Amino acid sequence: MYIYKLGNITDKKSLLKRLGVESGGVDIISNKMELMFFFIKDLRTPAVNILKQDALSVGAELAVPSGVIVCQNPTYNCMLMGTRKHIQILSRKELAQPFGLKSVALELQKFLAIKEYATKIMGVVNANDDSFFEGSRFLKDDAIVEIEKMIDSGANIIDIGAVSSRPNAKIVSRSVELERIKPICDVIASKKLYKKATFSVDSYIPEVVEYALKSGFTLINDITGASDEAIIKLAVKYDAKLCIMHMQGTPQDMQNNPSYDDVIVDVSSFFKERIEKCEELGLKRENIILDVGIGFGKTLEHNIALIKNMAHFKVFGCEVLVGASRKSMIDKIIPTPVEERLAGTLTIHLKAVQNGASIVRCHDVAEHKQALAIYEKLNEEIV
């Protein structure tokens, strides 16, 4: 007889099936194997005390500040923890409780129903001469060569833009943007490259977006977060997907002292509002992708918080995109020129995938394909 401690178990059901557990027991046991943590902000004090007792009664736990029991403050922050099974039972129990606990229960049930998506690689091609990473800049003929290379290297999506969105980027007219991207769109259409990969247009200008959609593109990557209803309507008209990115300010001023009350709450509120707007205009939720906007109106601390809590944004039922490729947050952690930030990029992106991101936007497709293949292999359950 020998006992050894298992590491992190990713695919719990697969492990149990290989162990020979009967089908009926797989769901029951797997729910007891997953430990979940929830940070709850500004919960009314009576609700905190009720939730504490109810959590303990089902085998879960609620960490609370001192002073709660004597109701020193009207609200408190607290942390709920328990297995998936505990949270399932507790969420049903709290549906009948007062002081806002029904809302807590409904939110917990949303997290319990989160949908999982396969990981995809989005390659970046910039049809301009001023993007922050010189290695991503390509004109017409070179762009097509790079696109085909990315497809061969394993890119699922190719994101093409003609205007830089780096901090303090120059403003470009609509006509110039269209002039830059049009010849690339034409070749993609004529060679039917859209049959080999999904093509994304990185723009928020309706004329540019529609030209791309007519050329076989099926994804709109809007850094303004669908601030223009015309973009949402185009996504509906062409049955395209829409990536909504969060950005505080504009590329010209977004890094001028960005600040948030709570970056996770603020970005979540933004997504909730924009998703509702999209659905009102007829865009299906399954056609919405969320991008927290790493580096777009964020400090290093904001970026790290978003990556660490990437799993939170899965609650909206949409695919979650991460795009930190060669960005300055790497330089802020360890001073490194743009050309030498691949290692940092891979580290951030693998952590983001571990935490819930399902689309990785990057400049280095082949390297990400390799890293993700190794990551997925290491996460296979072998006993």
Q: Both tokens of residue 375?
A: 């990551």
Q: Both tokens of residue 43?
A: 């919960």
144 contacts 183 by C-beta, under 8 angstroms: no
Map out the domains of the chain with their CATH numbers. Answer: 34-112 (3.30.70), 120-378 (3.20.20.20)
| Whole-number pLDDT of residue 130 | 67
Q: Taking the chain, what is the end-to-end CA distance rounded to the nearest angstrom?
A: 15
| Whole-number pLDDT of residue 7 | 76
Give me the torsion for CA of 280, 281, 287, 293, rounded to 10°: -80
d(CA 306, CA 303): 5
| Whole-number pLDDT of residue 236 | 98
| pLDDT one-digit tens code per residue, 62-112 | 999 998 988 889 999 999 999 999 999 999 999 999 999 999 999 999 999
d(CA 36, CA 12): 14
Choosing from 137, 166, 327, 341, which is the catalytic residue? 327
- 274 an active-site residue? no
| Whole-number pLDDT of residue 381 | 64
| pLDDT one-digit tens code per residue, 219-265 | 999 999 988 999 999 999 999 999 999 999 888 888 888 999 999 99
Range 227-235 contact pairs with CB under 8 angstroms and sequence separation of 24 or more: 228/204, 229/277, 229/281, 230/206, 231/204, 231/206, 232/277, 232/278, 232/281, 232/283, 233/281, 234/206, 234/209, 234/210, 235/278, 235/283, 235/287
| pLDDT one-digit tens code per residue, 314-325 | 999 999 999 999
Q: Residue 28: count other Cβ atoms within 10 Å of its Cβ.
A: 12
Q: Both tokens of residue 331?
A: 């330089």
| Whole-number pLDDT of residue 11 | 81
| Whole-number pLDDT of residue 383 | 58
| Whole-number pLDDT of residue 6 | 76
pTM for the model stands at 0.91
The DSSP element (H or E) to which 200 belongs, if any, is: strand 198-202
| Whole-number pLDDT of residue 65 | 94
| Whole-number pLDDT of residue 265 | 95
Choosing from 12, 298, 314, 361, which is the catalytic residue? 361
User: Alpha carbon of 176 to those of 17, 181, 206: distances in Å?
Assistant: 57, 9, 14
Q: Both tokens of residue 12?
A: 């719990």
Identify the segments of the chain with pLDDT beneath 70.
Answer: 130, 135, 381-383
- 137 an active-site residue? no
